[in-house]
Structure 1
């Protein structure tokens, strides 16, 4: 029996791959670790590729091609282990028929600046790919596929984490078009991309595999880490350092502006003994109108201090 390993993530791929090498050793026949530039770690049996995030680049295309190559000739006695975490949607990216890398980059940039949440962004990504949205599981048939996930998605929706390459996808091409329209970025999305999505909505492109599809009969997904587990670990460390510590009951979501106001209100109302550590988890959204750099978390921090 052969074991094959594939791991990818902006921060977690390298460390997850090291753990896999330690546990599986020579049972790994081949492995690919796809991570963000500057995040690679030395591995013995697993090939390392660095690629673009949050906007895919040529290396992202290379990574997708390599993974596709290695899962396209599997047999029923093969085992595939995918180690997935946030950032993988960009780090491993392919091209829809008739579209260019530049057009995919423009679409991704428009989405991440539009104020769309991660689930909405990944619905569009899934329908501009031949591997996302459960399609990688379809390619890997008839092998057994085990996917271990670190979730950065509020609610731990399996179909959204890393754009769900081994998970059934309930969303549709029509949903993708509606998201682009909802966030008023139609003019920023290249014509070729819009035409491809419209063809899919008209039934001219194959949909992603849906819940109940037999392609998932040998596919198993399990979340091994998420926002909650990270908060618990952070609380334990803060308490060890002598802080009175509270974890917010609900994950933060929605626009960074309103989230910042709520955080500041909570801090102003605090009458607990100092030092005190408040912990929030989740992901906010921002609408970018200029050419500044940064992301949701830096924007949230700046708004809290403003």
Structure 2
């Protein structure tokens, strides 16, 4: 009887903001504005860090790559979210859902490692200034970026395959704004303890370990800054690190809470809120955090705009 009543799922329905039926149009406008802001803000950082000679340093090289990842990261989820809000057709095929999850996780891992690389760059600049230009040369920077891009890809592809190799049955309603791991695991059949175990292992490898590397880097950085005799030197060192630290707190704080809270008690509403923070809110604020708190970047923007106006 259990086998006869089993319904194999071939597509999901992304419920998204279905509990707010009267605000679909308003939410579409809000998220469209956010997506355009993300594209323009991060695109501006990519352009300026590539064309302005004064910003041809490892820190801005990593920032440009980080902004590119942010654009890709949000483009995996936001266009689909906008389409669902506009058309009210919330269904997504199993293959499309698997592809979205795979690319989303790959880009999240890349972003996690890039944040760790940027913390290491600040550590070298402040704690090892005499060796900085020797170690953080262009070849080293390129290798670190490539390493960030390719490190987690095989594991994430394997993880995605593992999740979708388990049958989904019963309800096909996914109470989320995109295909994410925790809500998908709620719809699987049978014993998923091993799948959840490997998910937590991946969270540890690609989330917690980079975070710990950033944490220990900033302990050394803080110690080095406090030992500086010059007040202006301490202020400059703090200003170069504060922007990155704010982004780290936003990304890891919301991301780790969203994933690890499912160990104790899973809440659809809480998971949805935190997912929106690290997939939408953080990429929108990153350009403002990095540009408005950085005098060199502000000067580079003024030069670029003056050149554009002069033409």
> TM-score scaled to structure 1, two decimals?
0.25
Greater relative contact order: 1 or 2 (C-alpha under 8 angstroms, separation 6 or more)?
2
Higher strand fraction: Structure 1 or Structure 2? 1
Higher helix fraction: Structure 1 or Structure 2? 2
